[in-house]
Amino acid sequence: MKLTIQVNEGPYQHQSADSAYFFAKAALEKGHEIYRIFFYHDGVNNGTRLTTPPQDDRNIVARWSELGQAHDIDMVLCVAAAQRRGIVDDGEAERNGKDATNIAPGFRISGLGQLIEGGVQSDRLVVFGD
């Protein structure tokens, strides 16, 4: 089955970020295809490489990066949500005159149309959040 996953909550604050990761991993192990993972609302905070959790805790961002890169998953941070919350890639830094970037490997920033298109193209849209 072809899936698009929407992640609406930030890492550590809310279990949705963990549940979405475990769901994605299990779906891939079962042979399903992940068309896209779209991060919205505070979910965009799953994509900052500056996160530094305590050493005895899971690294949620690194975990996403590894999964995404290992399976070549399209992991998209919503641009409007990312701008509000200070998640920046090279393009955004240049466009908005920011002095740094923080996007994590394997993620990209794009528009909400990518979420809608995920719903159009996939067999299921699976939403994680409150």
Partner 1 sequence: MAEATKKFMYINRKAPYGTIYAWEALEVVLIGAAFEQDVSVAFMDDGVYQLAKGQDTTGIGMKNFSPTYAALGDFEITKIYVEKESLEERGLTLDDLQHLVWEDEDEDWAEKDSIRLVSRAELGDVLADQDVLFNF
Verify binding: residue 86, partner 1, rule CB under 8 A: no
CA distance 110 to 84: 14
CA distance 31 to 45: 28
What residues contact 104, with CB distance under 8 A and at least 6 apart?
Answer: 47, 48, 49, 51, 61, 62, 64, 65
Instruction: Name the minimum Å distance from CB 105 to partner 1.
Output: 25
Verify binding: residue 40, partner 1, rule CB under 8 A: yes
Pick between residue 60 and residue 125 the one whose CB is nearest to partner 1.
125
Applying CB under 8 A, which of residues 81, 82, 87, 88 lies at the interface with partner 1?
Answer: 81
* Contact call for residues 96 and 40 (beta carbons, < 8 A): no
Tokens describing residue 18: 């963990």
Instruction: Name the minimum Å distance from CB 127 to partner 1.
Output: 5
Verify binding: residue 70, partner 1, rule CB under 8 A: no
CA distance 28 to 93: 33
Verify binding: residue 15, partner 1, rule CB under 8 A: no
Would residue 45 show up in a list of annotated catalytic residues for this protein?
Answer: no
Residue ranges in contact with partner 1 by CB under 8 A: 6, 8, 40-41, 80-81, 111-113, 115-117, 119-121, 125, 127, 129-130
